[in-house]
Amino acid sequence: MPQRRRVFFVSDRTGLTVEALGSSLISQFDAIDFVRVTLPFIDSADKAREAVAQINSAHRDSGKRPLVFSSLVNDAVRAEIDKVDGLVLDVFEKFIVPLEQELGQKSMHAVGKSHSAGNAKDYNHRIEAINYTLSHDDGVTHRGLEEADLVLVGVSRSGKTPTSLYMAMQFGIKAANYPLIPEDLEANRLPPSLIPLKEKVWGLTIQPERLHQIRRERRPDSKYASLDNCRYEVAAAEKLMRQADIPFLDSTTKSIEEIATTMLHEAQLVRRVY
Amino acid sequence: MPQRRRVFFVSDRTGLTVEALGSSLISQFDAIDFVRVTLPFIDSADKAREAVAQINSAHRDSGKRPLVFSSLVNDAVRAEIDKVDGLVLDVFEKFIVPLEQELGQKSMHAVGKSHSAGNAKDYNHRIEAINYTLSHDDGVTHRGLEEADLVLVGVSRSGKTPTSLYMAMQFGIKAANYPLIPEDLEANRLPPSLIPLKEKVWGLTIQPERLHQIRRERRPDSKYASLDNCRYEVAAAEKLMRQADIPFLDSTTKSIEEIATTMLHEAQLVRRVY
């Protein structure tokens, strides 16, 4: 039986960063079965004491010392969490002292300086990009396509919508997307309305077997979903993109984050949201 | 003039985690003007040497030692980055040794163990949730509303769509959203189709001045956007939600991340994606 460990992510904010960091670290130990719990908004000594009680009780139940990844700006809150009977790894504690030394300044130790609601400019960019992306999803309109930072193309169900939304949400990038339909594939050229925007166009491709599986769930027994048709469409779309000199990525072998980050950097887009 | 510092985020993967971590840490020094650059997919010694050259050249241009936040699993790659003329803070290095000791195992030192494309189950949950959310945006249909993990309500432009999409994208939660329209406000009750789902309903509110500003951009000089109408709608929606005993959050004072995380935890929803 594999070793089983409880992992707690404790944060004075949302916990999203420390969750991502801790998840990435524990993924390096794949013989262990980790059970994850996030405790967000632990921003007072009282809440910290409750968190400690919860973590200690997990220890008693499981007999194994839990792992605690934390991000706690306030010293008093951190002091409480440090009392827990487990391995506590706090990112703030580990990094803030070398930063203070390097910068020759004390840090503010103020909770919620980033991602704060006060950041109205970021919020506006984000909402604007999401609205743009939603109204330019799946080629519904040509209008305003010239405003796009990026236009994604690919066959139906190759992952264009989630990727566009991720770019809008995470980076504030206006990402339109446009399907490559059988007529485009047959003509072996980009949809005519995209030709003037060629410099902004990126492609997505997908393995035919995976596409078949995805389409079959939506429309079983259709020609659209058949493996033969998926093979044809993917091969034709890749040929078209190569010929039109459109860079493309494979959504079967890359996560949405990887695709979005690659496009952001290779297209040298300016990120509007941090 | 404020001190200006270059900050580099160097990662063998997307860099999203180390960016979030580093951004949160530098936000604690608000007297300094930080200029951020992310260098993702630095997964070979050659790429690391190029990154070092770029960082050192930033140092020469600015005369200030850059900060380097890194997340590098491979020792050889990290050894190259460590040669940079700046302050290097590597999360992997800082945390992996105590984890190995605690777990009594060596880590795999394998790049890309988390967020990997191999994680097809996570990917499917995500896509399914995004599709669900898109097809249940803005109350377009009642069909399948019972499948929702969460139903967001609020007046037009209170932030329902971005919040729902974030929940779907980040957590794999099926989040429908439903507008509170003037008829609902006048009747002072939830839209009838939501009454059987009351346990899943969460509200969003917004400050009337902010709502006025957002609506004015879309429809200037309309009654819809007028400050008086925004004041009326917000007050009526809050009254309705209080009376119906629907918990609600204010999107003016909280980021999308904060709202989504709060709902996830308080509604005890099961996160399907990490």
Q: What are phi and psi of B69, to 5 degrees?
A: -95, 125
- Is B102 in contact with A16 (Cβ distance < 8 A)? no
What pTM does this model have?
A: 0.92
CA A190-A193-A197 angle, to 5 degrees, is 80
The predicted-structure confidence for B214-253, as pLDDT tens digits, reads as follows 999 889 999 999 999 999 999 999 999 999 999 999 999 9
Q: What contacts A183, CB < 8 A, 6 or more positions away?
A: none
What whole-number distance in Å separates Cα of residue B215 and Cα of residue B230?
Answer: 9
- Is A255 in contact with B123 (Cβ distance < 8 A)? yes
Contact B139, B151 (CB under 8 A): no
The pLDDT value given to residue A117 = 47
The predicted-structure confidence for A75-104, as pLDDT tens digits, reads as follows 999 999 999 999 999 999 999 999 999 999
What whole-number distance in Å separates Cα of residue B165 and Cα of residue B174?
Answer: 9
The pLDDT value given to residue B117 = 47
- Is B258 in contact with A115 (Cβ distance < 8 A)? yes
Taking 70 as the threshold, does the pLDDT of residue B115 lie above it?
no
Mean pLDDT by 10 residues, chain A (274 residues): 90 94 93 94 97 95 93 96 96 94 90 61 89 94 93 97 96 96 96 94 97 93 96 98 97 94 94 83
How far is the CA of A115 from the CAs of A14, A70, B194, in angstroms?
9, 17, 32
The pLDDT value given to residue A122 = 80
Closest CA to A179 of A220, A224, A243, A127: A224
- Is B114 in contact with A253 (Cβ distance < 8 A)? no
What whole-number distance in Å separates Cα of residue A228 and Cα of residue A212?
Answer: 9
- Mark which residues 14-43 of A lie under 8 Å from B by CB: 14-17, 19-21, 23-32, 36, 38, 40-41
What is the secondary structure of A132-144 as a DSSP string?
Answer: HHHHTGGG---TT
Closest CA to A70 of A17, A129, A148: A17
Cα B243 → chain centroid: 30
Radius of gyration of chain A (CA): 24
Contact B165, B215 (CB under 8 A): no
CA A236-A239-A241 angle, to 5 degrees, is 110
Closest CA to B154 of B168, B166, B171, B137: B137
- Which residues does chain B have within 8 Å of residue A135's beta carbon, measured at their own beta carbons? none
CB atoms within 10 A of CB B268: 6
| DSSP summary character for residue B44 | S
Rounded percentage of chain B residues whose pLDDT exceeds 70? 97
Q: For residue B42, what is the nearest residue in chain A, using CA coordinates?
A: A262
Mean pLDDT of chain B: 93
Block residue for tokens 């670290």: A25
Contact B177, B197 (CB under 8 A): no
Taking 80 as the threshold, does the pLDDT of residue B146 lie above it?
yes
Of A16, A253, A258, the CB nearest to B14: A258
Contact A117, B204 (CB under 8 A): no
Q: What are phi and psi of B157, to 5 degrees?
A: 75, 25
What whole-number distance in Å separates Cα of residue A61 and Cα of residue A35?
Answer: 13
- Is B21 in contact with A26 (Cβ distance < 8 A)? no
ipTM score of the complex?
0.91
Contact A273, B162 (CB under 8 A): no
The average pLDDT across B10-22 equals 95
Residue B223 burial by Cβ neighbours in a 10 Å radius (0-12, 13-18, 19+): exposed
Contact B48, B42 (CB under 8 A): yes
What whole-number distance in Å separates Cα of residue A44 and Cα of residue A51?
Answer: 11
Q: Is A258 on the interface with B (CB under 8 A)?
A: yes
Q: What is the edge-to-edge ordering of all strands in the sheet holding B3-11? A: B32-39, B3-11, B67-71, B87-90
What whole-number distance in Å separates Cα of residue B193 and Cα of residue B199?
Answer: 13
Structure tokens at A91: 């990112």
Chain A interface, mutation test: which of B11, B14, B41, most A Cβ atoms within 10 Å?
A: B14
Closest CA to B80 of B56, B59, B52: B52
The average pLDDT across B149-155 equals 98
Taking 80 as the threshold, does the pLDDT of residue B128 lie above it?
yes
According to DSSP, the β-strands at B87-90 and B67-71 are parallel
Closest CA to B67 of B95, B29, B96: B29
Of A26, A109, A130, the CB nearest to B162: A130
Residue B128 burial by Cβ neighbours in a 10 Å radius (0-12, 13-18, 19+): middle
Q: Is B197 on the interface with A (CB under 8 A)?
A: no
- A6 three-class SS: strand
